[in-house]
Structure 1
Amino acid sequence: MLSPIFIYGSVLLLVSWHFVEGLQGEKHTLVKRGAIPENCYHRCDGGCHYGLCNCNHGWTGQSVQCSVRDCSSGLYCKNGGTCVENGKDYTCVCKDGWSGKDCEHVDCSSGLYCKNGGTCVEKGMDYTCVCKDGWSGKDCEQVVCTWSGHCNDRGTCVPISTNTDYTCSNCASGWTGKSCHLIDCSSKVYCNNGGTCMGDVNGGTDYRCICEEGWTGKDCQLINCSSPIRCLNGGQCHLQNDGKKFNCTCADGYLGDNCQIDMCSPYKIADIVFIIDVSVSQDGATFNEQKNFVKYFIAQFPLGRDHFQFSLVLYASEPHAVFNLRNTYDNNTIIDAVDNATLHVGKRGATFTGKVLAFVKDHSFATTNGGRADVDRYVILLTDGMSSAPLDTANQTKLLRLSYPNIRIISIGSGEFVFHTELLDISAYHLNVYPLRGNDSVRKVQKSTMYGCERCTTAYSDVVLAFDVSSFNYGQLDTMLKTAEVLISNLHTDVNQTRVGLFKYESIAEEVFKFGKYTTSNEMISDMNKHIQKKETCMKDGHCSSRDLSALLQDISDEFQMHSDKSRRKAVVIFSQFIFDNYIAERIQNLKENGVIVIIVGEGLDANMDRMFQLSTNPFFTFIIGKELNTPIDVILALMSTLEYDICFDQ
């Protein structure tokens, strides 16, 4: 305590000052003015009056002591925190999002800041947000629709609610939901081949399929070979094309794509209708060949109401019946009627195959024209497969099958150019497609009607696949390899069945493998894809041109002479564009003269089509594969009935 003395004029003043140490280190002064000396604690700078403290804002207390925090002052607990007095101290109950003595610090852990997955970074009384893709703003609350992830790259993002949310429009087929993230089973994108889609996996973001019998896989897209509907009557099922297709090795006595046809049943009679295309695309020489085919066919069967009945229909723009089923008398009479059929100039024109199929359905098999309800029915169609109204042809084919479920349609390719795609579609089974020349189709009908299994057997061929690699670009060669894969996969190549050899030509002629080296299609395809590849150098110089393709043909001729069984049918499938074909016509003619069927396969409009038709055994054995011509790779299956065929024996 200090008691300073002041002399003011002649007056002596004595003043007592008391200094008090505050609890927080402050100095407080109490001026004594007649009051009992007391200390005013905690911010009493306002002075004392009559011995009482005038407490600073934020403090209160009894008498002369400002010793209690005043929570009502609003000085404590910021940002909405609740102040709780605790004598000379206080505590704050902070609202969510704040922390600290006075709730003065942002609390990022509260989750109140940075929406939509943004990361909160504390900065004292403030914060910043690191937003995820697709969001912006102080709290990442603004949608950025230019980011494709909102709709999972499957739709169009549309901002809503003042840009704080979004929805997706135009979701891709198969998807629905706010973010195009939910499976839309009603879209029919999922579960093929009659499968039922169930969008109940992972909260609707995935699906499962309940497959129809005979199918398996995520989308029921794969053949289930273990299904009882595959390869009936003891047949063995073999998967092809990565499980998307199959073929059957049928037990003795059965045939058909599913081994559904019983070939060993007792003698079965049939009504057989021949249809001959006489449109302008079929010349007189072709018409004579067609008639000879029909005459030979009829000559193999006994005729009559209790045996076989035949009808002949000619067509171009309109159908015309030469004779009906009820006109069947005896073989000679019917054969003479075929022989006397003529081309009427006025009746030729475009090729309306759909019309003639409708005519056969409505008239040829009608009971009024001799049709019988309890016999097998055959339609044998001789055409080039180039109908003028292909959609109508397809529709009328379906209607014909619906009207006569037991009917079998056999397509015979004839003419200067053969479009195999339509022939395969009409017949619905590749083993029902044949070339005009030869009697394989006759034997097929004999086996399924008269002879049965004891008098008919399946014969197999020796087949050489020859690739003129130099004539193709990379894309064309890939198409040719896939075409060959389809053929190999459908051939029966076990011991004593079809034997396949492989040759190639690029800069030189090479043998890849001989007859009989492999007995499984997978082995052949693997070796083929390994060796049939285009070399970079052959794209840059002329040494890899097919000018010397004759060397390859000579090697093939030698292979047949030295290693092929004389009893076997022989065929060579040449994959080439025939861009350069000097000196090869003679080699190919030699192959033909030695009984080798010459089959030519090219790709697209770059193929030398005219030359290919000249060099193949006949137009049926020329294949131009490619999208430009609407000929998929599986048209090569039209060869199957030639390479694996029936031989029947008279008793």
Structure 2
Amino acid sequence: MLTLILVCAFISLVFGHGDHQHSLYYPEVSEHEAKSFLHKRHAGHTALSSTASPDPAYCTQLLPGYETWCELHIPYCQEQQEYTREQRCATLTTPCAPGQFCMLTTPCPAHFAHACVDINECDSNPCQNGGTCHDGISKYTCTCLPGWTGTNCEIDIDECLSFPCMYGNDCIEDRINSYKCVCSERYEGVHCETDCRPGPVDVMFLVDTSWSQSEAMNRSIAYMTKFIKHVPIGSYDFQVSLVSFASKPELVFNFTAYRSNSSLLDAVSFIRNERGATKTSDALSFISQEILNPANGARLLSNISHYVVLLTDGLSTDRAQAIQRAQILKATYLGFKIFVVGVGEDIGHEELVQLSTDPSYTFAPDNDDLLFAMLKDATDYGCTDCNSSSVTDVVILFDTSKDSSPLVENSLHSLKVVEKLFDSFDTTNTNVSVAMMTYSNDTQIQFDFHQRSIPDTKAKLYTVSIEDKKGNTAFALSRLQDELFNRSSTGSRPNARKICYLFTNGNWAKTDILRIKQQIVNLHNDGISVNIMVPFEITDSGLHRTLENAKEAAFDPYRVYMIEDNGNSISMAVKSAARDTKYVECPPNIFDLKN
């Protein structure tokens, strides 16, 4: 009974596939889905005969059993489908709309159905260069890979059209979706956005030509000459202007007067002294109006730095007014910075550190610290050619002899200065290491460069006392390298800057001064600076002789620090003396590297 029911059901199903039943096989399906339909039904049917070979017409006729046979012989039947599609589609009463075509939507040969379906415009693979095609109604769109554009992604985008290279540098499209900036001269970075070659810079030298500078004028000229030889001069590099002052300031030449190093060197060599007082306040007021004046050739662009280099001895006739004017300029004129170089036969360090934009902008004339500090300041943030450093080995060389020790009448003034100087080094947060050596006719290391607690070090300072022996300063200076600076066991570092602070009252015999001078020159030639520190009380007798002796022995008068026993004098002098421990290092060919 069950078998009879199934057979009847099968006959009913097969013979119920008349044309009026075609709608039961909608919705429309794609060609791929139609073919897969045959595959899916294949496993559920039994072949009539693997050797049977019915007429091809059977694939389109409604005959019992042949539908199953055709589904088991898919390749054979598929050969008949195109003919059947053409026959069926020819019966459409309404042609397919634009963008559509007629196809068989039901693949079983015994009950084909047909309908109008959308054409897949992406079948022709219109998108080029890896673009992705998206089919639409009678259209398609291409999503292009980076670097391509156009309807079919056929156009190579020229990335240089957006002018990505800064400061006028050239752009080349070296590959798809890429470009390369060819940076010229000073510029670096993907877009030539970083200016790591120092400059452009406008430098205005403000030179003290007063009567007190008559013997030091050649040193001012030598300093400017050395500076100019180290920098490129031109409208896209460094421009130099010169202002002299004594009783009043005078513009000697503006920024555009000389466009080459050689012409500038000739120009500065002719500057001469004038009779008159040192009115620094008026000079500062004058340069504040002229350094940023386009009429003088100043370049007022965001990428151009402006500096004043003041060469003076710090002994202004109008000291109070000069310091006040400098403070006003710091607060109100942010467009330029004032660097100060101590040049003269006598140096007032307390004034110099207050005239500069910052105490760290006060410099000795016997090294290139100002030049390197300026080069670093004049490059873009993040450039690493010039780097700040504080890797310094410092020796406090303290005279304890009975004739030239600063410990006069058990005064603690000199030891207070040593303590303040030690504090200014900030050994906790910098790379400054301090050692101390005392001497009379022999030397004794109180402590070397190895790190120790600050309280212990300060306690050690105050154990120093005068010895009842004659001093030998030249001998003590000669022992510095062998006993401290050149001995690794003391903690000395071979690549550290080396500075000696010689504490003395300078009461040397004339026959000793020449030997002391020679030792200081020898140390300077070996890269060791010697600063002569002379703490004094205003009542000290023989102060003038002390100063003269110290200047005669020093490598340069700037290296002599006369420190009065009052808080302000100590503070200002120590700031100036400690500046050498923080410096900038630049490669000697810094300008050549960027060409």
Question: Structure 1 length normalisation: TM-score?
Answer: 0.52
**Separation in 1 of the partners of 2:439 and 2:568?**
28
For residues 326 and 399 of structure 1, do their structure 2 counterparts lie closer, same or farther at Cα, with a shift above 3 Å needed? Answer: farther
User: What is residue 279 of structure 1 aligned with on the other side?
Assistant: 210
Hey, what does 2:487 align to over in structure 1? 562
1:545 Cα offset (Å) = 4.6
Change (3 A) 1:369 1:548: closer
| 8 A contact 1:458–1:644 mirrored in 2 | yes
In the TM superposition, what is the alpha-carbon distance from 1:393 to its structure 2 partner?
A: 0.7
Q: Is the counterpart of residue 631 in structure 1 residue 569 in structure 2?
A: yes
Aligned counterpart for 1:619 among listed residues 557, 565, 577: 557
> Residues 334 and 504 of structure 1: is their aligned pair in 2 closer, same or farther, counting only changes over 3 Å?
same
CA contact (8 A) 1:417 1:619 kept: yes
Partners of 1:434 and 1:441 within 8 A in 2 = yes
With 376-385 and 550-559 compared, the bigger mean Cα shift is at 550-559
Which residue pairs with 2:82 in the alignment? none
Q: 1:630 to 1:613 in 2, by over 3 A?
A: farther
Q: Which residue of 2 aligns with 1:339?
A: 269
Q: Percent identity?
A: 25
- d(CA) in 1 for partners of 2:532 and 2:457? 22
SS of 1:438's equivalent in the other structure is coil
Distance in 1 between residues matched to 2:506 and 2:469, nearest whole Å: 10
The yes-or-no answer on 1:572 pairing with 2:500 is yes
Contact 1:361 1:403 in 2 (8 A): no
1:514–1:277 Cα change, 3 Å? same
Map Cα deviations across residues 30-59 of structure 1 (whole Å, 9 max, x no partner).
Answer: xxxxxxxxxxxxxxxxxxxxxxxxxxxxxx
| 2:321 aligned to which of 392, 397, 415 | 392
Aligned residue in 2 for 1:205: none
Out of 393, 410, 416, which is 1:462 matched to? 393
Aligned counterpart, 1:589: 518
- Residue 486 (structure 1) shift: 2.8
**Residue 598 of structure 1 contacts residue 615 of structure 1 at CA under 8 Å; is this kept in 2?**
no
Q: Which residue of 1 aligns with 2:532?
A: 600
Q: Is the 8 A contact 1:479 1:603 kept in 2?
A: yes
Matches within 5 A, 1:215-614: 268-284=199-215, 286-343=216-273, 347-374=274-301, 375-450=304-379, 453-459=383-389, 460-470=391-401, 471-473=405-407, 477-491=411-425, 493=427, 497-505=431-439, 509-515=443-449, 517-518=450-451, 523-524=453-454, 526-533=456-463, 535=465, 544-550=468-474, 552-559=476-483, 560-563=485-488, 564-581=492-509, 583=512, 585-587=514-516, 589-594=518-523, 595=526, 596-604=528-536, 605=538, 606=540, 607=543, 608-614=546-552
Q: Cα offset for 1:422?
A: 0.7
Deviation per residue, 1:386-424 (Å, 9 max, x gap): 000112212322343345213211110001111001110
SS in 1 for 2:221: helix
Cα offset for 1:325?
2.1
Letter in 1 for 2:203: I
**Change in 2 beyond 3 A, CA 1:329/1:509:** closer
Tell me, what secondary structure is at the counterpart of 2:438? strand
CA apart distance, 1:593: 0.9
Compute the displacement of 1:533 (Å): 3.1
Q: Distance in 2 between matches of 1:272 and 1:507?
A: 49
Secondary structure of the structure 2 residue equivalent to 1:272: strand
SS at match of 1:544: coil
Deviation (angstroms), 1:609: 1.4
Aligned Cα root-mean-square deviation (Å): 3.1
**TM-fit CA distance, 1:376:** 2.5
Indicate how the Cα distance of structure 1 residues 419 and 545 shifts in structure 2: closer, same or farther if over 3 A, else same: farther
**Superposition pairs of residues 9-20 of structure 1, within 5 angstroms:** none
Equivalent position of 2:146 in the other structure: none
Structure 2 Cα separation of the partners of residues 307 and 493 of structure 1: 38
Q: Distance in 1 between matches of 2:335 and 2:257?
A: 23
Q: Does 1:645 align with 2:583?
A: yes
Is the contact between residue 386 and residue 419 of structure 1 (CA under 8 Å) also seen in structure 2?
Answer: yes
Counterparts of 1:288 and 1:621, CA distance in 2: 18
Between Structure 1 and Structure 2, which shows a larger proportion of strand residues?
1
> Aligned partners of 2:438 and 2:445: how far apart in 1?
6
Secondary structure class of the residue paired with 1:274 = strand
Unaligned segments of structure 1, at least 5 residues: 1-262
Q: 1:464 to 1:525 in 2, by over 3 A?
A: farther
C-alpha contact 1:298 1:335 (8 A) present in aligned 2 = yes
CA distances 1:581-633 after superposition (whole Å, capped 9, x unpaired): 56475255234314232211112253511111112221111111115897334
Which letter maps to 1:569? Answer: R
**Deviation digits for residues 256-282 of structure 1, max 9, x if unmatched?**
xxxxxxx99886533221011111111
Distance in 1 (alpha carbons) for counterparts of 2:474 and 2:468: 13
Q: CA deviation at 1:428?
A: 4.2
> Does the CA contact (< 8 Å) of 1:382 and 1:411 recur in 2?
yes
Structure 2 SS opposite 1:444 = helix
2:550 partner amino acid: M
Larger CA deviation: 604-613 vs 436-445: 604-613
Which 10-residue stretch deviates more, 571-580 or 499-508? 499-508
Give the aligned residue type for 1:491. F
2:434 aligned counterpart, secondary structure: strand
Superposed CA deviations along residues 214-243 of structure 1, whole A, max 9, x for unmatched, are xxxxxxxxxxxxxxxxxxxxxxxxxxxxxx
Amino acid corresponding to residue 530 of structure 1 in structure 2: K
- After superposition, the C-alpha distances for 1:75-97 in whole angstroms (9 at most, x for unaligned) are xxxxxxxxxxxxxxxxxxxxxxx
What is the DSSP-based 3-state SS (H/G/I as helix, E as strand, rest coil) of the residue aligned with 1:601?
Answer: strand
AA aligned to 1:434 is F
Gaps of 5+ in 2: 1-193
Counterpart Cα distance in 2 of 1:625 and 1:393: 21
Matched to 2:482, the amino acid is D
Alpha carbons of structure 1 residues 364 and 268: separation in structure 2 relative to 1, 3 Å: closer
- 2:372 and 2:315 mapped to 1: Cα distance? 26
Deviation (angstroms), 1:573: 0.6
Comparing 308-317 with 484-493, greater Cα deviation is found at 484-493
